[in-house]
């Protein structure tokens, strides 16, 4: 092997090594860019302002996902199952940022409900609590974002119908202060013409999502 060939191979090796190192260094940026999600359209259904800590304004908002129907009317989203955890998370974080500025609030709490209606006719899809000054609820805490959680996905049209019926019919199935869920599920299943085992109030549950998603 000639000296020139040996040097050439070494140069090629080091060039490939540098390229690999650069690629590995840049990978997190590409991965992070890939998981960015846009907030979905939402509307508030309940707003409450109060001072949890004297001199520190808290603003809590319940929101729901919305869409346009065939007539151009804004209505609650009738099927959110195509949305993933990152999109649901982005929605509550976007709402928190908006209300913190719009209401000049020290702390904003956002809850994304699956749909409008009574407490037992909906479930929570995502939550976020935001303190713009980084001082948390009390003003002496050390956090900017808290209670970060979202379900793995949204809900299907059928799951939302089940929840609505659960909220509407629950009062008819009370026994000694408790809900007879077996009979309630059977009644909902009969109304929707589906197996009783498919009737669930909570088909998915919120899970924590990382602080990195807030950046």
> What is the full DSSP assignment across 52-71?
EETTEEEEEEEEEEEEE-TT
Of the candidates 106, 46, 37, 116, the residue with the CA atom closest to the CA atom of residue 75: 116
| Tokens 């909220």 belong to residue | 167
Q: Which of 15-29, 38-52, 90-104, 140-154 has the lowest mean pLDDT?
A: 15-29
- What is the signed CA dihedral for 61, 64, 66, 69, rounded to 10 degrees? -130
Per the CB < 8 A criterion, the answer to whether 120 and 113 are in contact is no
Arithmetic mean of pLDDT, 40-68: 96
> What does the mean pLDDT of the chain come to?
87
CATH number of 42-214: 3.10.310.90
Q: Where are the domains of the chain?
A: 1-35, 42-214
This prediction has a pTM of 0.82
Kindly report, residue by residue over 84-137, the tens digit of the pLDDT.
999 999 999 999 999 999 999 999 999 999 999 998 999 999 999 999 999 999
Report whether pLDDT(150) > 70: yes
| Residue that is written with structure tokens 């719009």 in the block | 102
**pLDDT at position 52:** 84
């Amino acid at each position: 092997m000639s000296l020139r060939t040996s040097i050439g191979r070494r140069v090629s090796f080091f060039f490939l090594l540098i390229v690999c190192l650069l690629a590995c260094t840049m990978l997190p940026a590409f991965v992070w860019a890939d998981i960015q999600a846009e907030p979905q359209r939402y509307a508030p259904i309940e707003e409450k302002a109060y001072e949890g800590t004297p001199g520190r304004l808290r603003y809590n908002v319940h929101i729901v996902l919305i869409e346009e129907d065939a007539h151009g009317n804004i209505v609650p989203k009738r099927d959110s199952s195509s949305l993933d955890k990152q999109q649901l998370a982005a929605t509550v974080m976007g709402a928190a940022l908006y209300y913190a500025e719009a209401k000049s609030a020290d702390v904003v709490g956002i809850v994304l409900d699956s749909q409008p209606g009574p407490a037992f006719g909906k479930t929570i899809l995502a939550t976020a609590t935001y303190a713009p000054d980084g001082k948390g609820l009390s003003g002496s805490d050390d956090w900017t974002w808290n209670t970060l959680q979202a379900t793995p996905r949204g809900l299907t049209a059928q799951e939302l119908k089940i929840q609505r019926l659960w909220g509407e019919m629950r009062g008819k199935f009370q026994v000694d202060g408790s809900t007879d869920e077996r009979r309630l599920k059977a009644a909902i299943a009969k109304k929707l013409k589906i197996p009783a085992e498919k009737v669930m109030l909570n088909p998915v549950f919120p899970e924590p999502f990382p602080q990195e998603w807030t950046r």
